[in-house]
A and B are shown apart, each in its own frame.
Chain A
């Protein structure tokens, strides 16, 4: 599978090469913006910058247990301040003097200690950007510029991680394969009387057995109403989705909208399908699926490096007869990689001007998630994960649409 001249996705990712490529990309972006050091607090940003992999925990733990990365422009190796156990790969990748104990940046004492450690790594007066900020950092003025706030490093890293390297794509494909192994087990259990949480149990069991590092989203097996009015009230007047899973038992004929994702080697996966419980889809449901395919095919026909987001949304909207065929509180599509949903967002409320000005690039991974909805008769939703190439796109997986 070519993403550009000679760039092939390897069977197995080379993690050393992946990390070296990323650090180089980050440091180039830093040089372009004259940033001498980048401090990162966001879990997934730390993963990107250092290659550290750990099973992500609940957000309620993260302010007491937050790895921090420091990337210095003239140092080819990043620093990691971490409360978590370093594995053999990380110890191999980072010199011992680049692996530090935890930095508690939500506490004044932690900020003070980090400040003095940072002074040893970064020259006095250096230009430093940071992705997230804390009140303790603000009080100490550690990164505050004349404008009263630190330089925003979030955009820099968001841009760096847009284009996936062949090694990154190989790891992402492996993560998608693990997800689909879990989904296969779930689908085999789909029957009246089974609880939504039973489906979650089968999914979680299988993804960890197959090598996932973590689950990233409480899996969605939403039992869809046939009319919007039968679901919860929404701010948009549209569908309420995704709704949380419970111990509710499935009944024959239930239509499930499925949405899950796992974390593998620092990459997040995504999976979405529509299933029918205990019976074959009706003729009407099959028509909805065919409409969905027509939408997807129209979008894919214009998807290539250089296309604007607007070309994709226009193609989808035209086939859908002028209505936007996606959930208005989300998007037609989103990027996938280190985060479950990252740039580019296609058809979101960032607005049409943004979409018109944003061009896809080869090496981006995009998830398309149009829907078909016929109020009174329910609808269909699936997700298509694809790699943008110079002359079009390539599918990242080939999981079937059964029972459709």
Chain B
């Protein structure tokens, strides 16, 4: 299923690495940042283009990949050179360490560490300010995460291609879960089918492991129990996502079996919500149009972001009812890829959830999945 059978670990495509790095360096120049320290894997992947071991969950901040503006040198935490391109020489690889003093030692040896005036990090620990002050004695510490968000927001054509591949693989893997969807199957068993199909297709890294859930009839955003089985009429949400070459491909769907289901009223409101959401993905539109779509249809604000950028992880724009001012400060620009999300809950019935990867172009939204939600709404029974 994967585009190419992969039997070796190799760095990201050289041209893609080059243009991503140039973007970061240009932004560093604009902001006067001398050294960028990334701890977040998605930022490190953007800068270095090296696949490293996938671990689930958040990680505390620590220097994982460093870019020096003046020389373009990259330093990477990796004990070995597998998957490391030639433009990161062995002397710039730094082994795994559990000792802060060892981290400090290699930071201090970086060319330009002593004279750097501005050092940006994409995260912090309570001890980070002290570490940066010691390793880079002349430098002021600034926010590198905001800078990386700006850089990553607009996708390169090659990135869109990578996202399309990931979306296609997500759809393929979700189809296995759909095929197993039946009365009495558990949420975990549906997750198991997705994961199995994903790995058989050559991908072993999910973006989310909360793949299927029976939406609650009692709680607008809750689980009725921890181990639900699918019953007739349950509205079951599927959230499928994986990383291929680091890029996210995610789709969300709702399915039901047997009696009742969503009912005509809910379906009609869903279609209206979805049409408005899609219509709001126009280039130049205010991001708040997406939030307003919920109001316009009389639907309660979604408990999750209405739109998140997709790329090497989540990117801007982030459009969520929880951050109205942040949302209002953003516009929908050509070149962003959105995980566009609809959520509609009805007391006593459950919820309809849908997520569609949408590329915004000069001429409007382009759906990146091969079976877009709008066409498959008949599956909400």
Do chains A and B interact in one complex?
A: yes
Extra pairs beyond A87-B222, A247-B2 (12, CB < 8 Å): A56-B57, A59-B58, A62-B58, A65-B314, A87-B225, A113-B322, A205-B196, A232-B81, A235-B93, A247-B5, A345-B98, A348-B99
| Residues of chain A with a CB closer than 8 A to B314's CB | 60-61, 63-65
Number of CB contacts from chain A to chain B under 8 A: 280
Q: A154-B125, A240-B80, A247-B2 known; A59 and B59 CB under 8 Å?
A: yes
Q: In this complex, what residue of B is CB-closest to A220?
A: B53
- Chain A 73-84 interface mask (CB, 8 Å, partner B; 1/0): 000000000011
Provide the bound-state CA to CA distance between A153 and B127, in Å.
11
Q: Is A330 an interface residue (CB 8 A)?
A: yes
In the assembled complex, how far is the CB of residue B261 from the closest CB belonging to chain A, in whole angstroms?
Answer: 21
A232 and B80 within 8 A (CB): yes
Report the stretch among A128-136, A292-300, A379-387 that lies at the interface: A128-136
| Residues of chain B with a CB closer than 8 A to A340's CB | 55
B90 and A233 within 8 A (CB): yes
| Residues of chain B with a CB closer than 8 A to A301's CB | none
Q: Is A110 an interface residue (CB 8 A)?
A: yes
Identify B193's interface contact among A101, A150, A205, A215, CB under 8 A. Answer: A205
| Residues of chain B with a CB closer than 8 A to A403's CB | none
Q: Is B51 an interface residue (CB 8 A)?
A: yes
Identify B123's interface contact among A83, A134, A214, CB under 8 A. Answer: A134
Q: List 25 A-B contacts (CB under 8 A).
A: A57-B208, A58-B313, A59-B56, A60-B314, A63-B145, A63-B314, A64-B305, A65-B304, A85-B216, A86-B223, A88-B224, A108-B326, A109-B325, A130-B126, A135-B121, A138-B129, A149-B130, A152-B125, A205-B195, A208-B191, A211-B227, A234-B95, A244-B53, A329-B79, A351-B99
B95 and A235 within 8 A (CB): yes
In the assembled complex, how far is the CB of residue A109 from the closest CB belonging to chain B, in whole angstroms?
Answer: 5
| Residues of chain A with a CB closer than 8 A to B81's CB | 232-234
- Chain A 327-344 interface mask (CB, 8 Å, partner B; 1/0): 001110000000010000
B225 and A134 within 8 A (CB): no
Q: Is B188 an interface residue (CB 8 A)?
A: yes
| Residues of chain B with a CB closer than 8 A to A246's CB | 6-9, 202
B205 and A58 within 8 A (CB): yes
Identify B98's interface contact among A87, A206, A235, A350, CB under 8 A. Answer: A350
B208 and A211 within 8 A (CB): no
Identify B200's interface contact among A65, A154, A198, A242, CB under 8 A. Answer: A198
For the complex of A and B, list the 9 residue pairs with the smallest distance between their C-beta atoms, beginning with the closest: A60-B313, A208-B192, A201-B199, A55-B209, A240-B80, A204-B195, A205-B196, A135-B143, A56-B57
B94 and A135 within 8 A (CB): no
Q: Is A159 an interface residue (CB 8 A)?
A: no
Provide the bound-state CA to CA distance between A154 and B127, in Å.
10
In the assembled complex, how far is the CB of residue B117 from the closest CB belonging to chain A, in whole angstroms?
Answer: 18
Enumerate A179-230 residues with CB–CB distance to B below 8 Å: 197-198, 200-209, 211-219
Report the stretch among A38-46, A271-279, A359-367, A368-376 that lies at the interface: A38-46
A42 and B60 within 8 A (CB): yes
B325 and A208 within 8 A (CB): no
Q: A85-B223, A133-B128 known; A216 and B57 CB under 8 Å?
A: yes
Provide the bound-state CA to CA distance between A10 and B35, in Å.
53
Q: Is A24 an interface residue (CB 8 A)?
A: no
A89 and B226 within 8 A (CB): yes
| Residues of chain B with a CB closer than 8 A to A135's CB | 121, 123-124, 143-146
Q: In this complex, what residue of A is CB-closest to B310?
A: A60
Q: In this complex, what residue of A is CB-closest to B226?
A: A87
| Residues of chain A with a CB closer than 8 A to B325's CB | 109
| Residues of chain A with a CB closer than 8 A to B127's CB | 149, 152
| Residues of chain A with a CB closer than 8 A to B197's CB | 201
Chain B residues within 8 Å of A, Cβ to Cβ: 2, 5-9, 40-42, 51, 53-61, 78-83, 90, 93-99, 102, 121, 123-130, 143-146, 188-189, 191-193, 195-200, 202-210, 213, 216, 219, 221-227, 241, 243, 248, 303-305, 308, 312-314, 318, 320, 322-326
Q: A217-B55, A236-B95, A348-B98 known; A63 and B40 CB under 8 Å?
A: yes
A200 and B61 within 8 A (CB): no
| Residues of chain A with a CB closer than 8 A to B2's CB | 247
Identify A59's interface contact among B192, B213, B224, B313, CB under 8 A. Answer: B313
B199 and A204 within 8 A (CB): yes
Overall SS of chain A's interface? loop
B188 and A208 within 8 A (CB): yes
Provide the bound-state CA to CA distance between A240 and B123, in Å.
28
Q: In this complex, what residue of B is CB-closest to A349?
A: B99
A109 and B326 within 8 A (CB): yes
Of listed A65, A148, A206, residue having the most chain B CB within 10 A: A65
Identify B222's interface contact among A60, A86, A203, CB under 8 A. Answer: A86
In the assembled complex, how far is the CB of residue B37 from the closest CB belonging to chain A, in whole angstroms?
Answer: 12
Q: A134-B124, A240-B79, A240-B82 known; A350 and B99 CB under 8 Å?
A: yes
A206 and B42 within 8 A (CB): no
Provide the bound-state CA to CA distance between A55 and B189, in Å.
14
Identify B207's interface contact among A61, A85, A243, A351, CB under 8 A. Answer: A61
Q: In this complex, what residue of A is CB-closest to B305?
A: A64
Provide the bound-state CA to CA distance between A42 and B303, in Å.
21
B303 and A83 within 8 A (CB): yes
| Residues of chain B with a CB closer than 8 A to A108's CB | 326
A59 and B124 within 8 A (CB): no
Provide the bound-state CA to CA distance between A27 and B159, in Å.
47
| Residues of chain B with a CB closer than 8 A to A87's CB | 222-223, 225-226
B58 and A218 within 8 A (CB): no
B54 and A133 within 8 A (CB): no
| Residues of chain B with a CB closer than 8 A to A211's CB | 188, 227
Of listed B130, B210, B326, residue having the most chain A CB within 10 A: B210
A85 and B206 within 8 A (CB): no
Identify A349's interface contact among B102, B125, B222, B224, CB under 8 A. Answer: B102
A59 and B95 within 8 A (CB): no
Enumerate A273-332 residues with CB–CB distance to B below 8 Å: 329-331
Q: Is A20 an interface residue (CB 8 A)?
A: no
A64 and B126 within 8 A (CB): no
Q: A87-B223, A197-B200, A218-B54 known; A64 and B195 CB under 8 Å?
A: no
| Residues of chain B with a CB closer than 8 A to A243's CB | 9, 80, 82
Of listed A88, A208, A340, residue having the most chain B CB within 10 A: A208
Q: In this complex, what residue of A is CB-closest to B97?
A: A349
| Residues of chain A with a CB closer than 8 A to B206's CB | 57-58, 215
A234 and B6 within 8 A (CB): no
B93 and A215 within 8 A (CB): no
| Residues of chain A with a CB closer than 8 A to B222's CB | 85-87, 91
Enumerate A86-104 residues with CB–CB distance to B below 8 Å: 86-89, 91, 101-102, 104
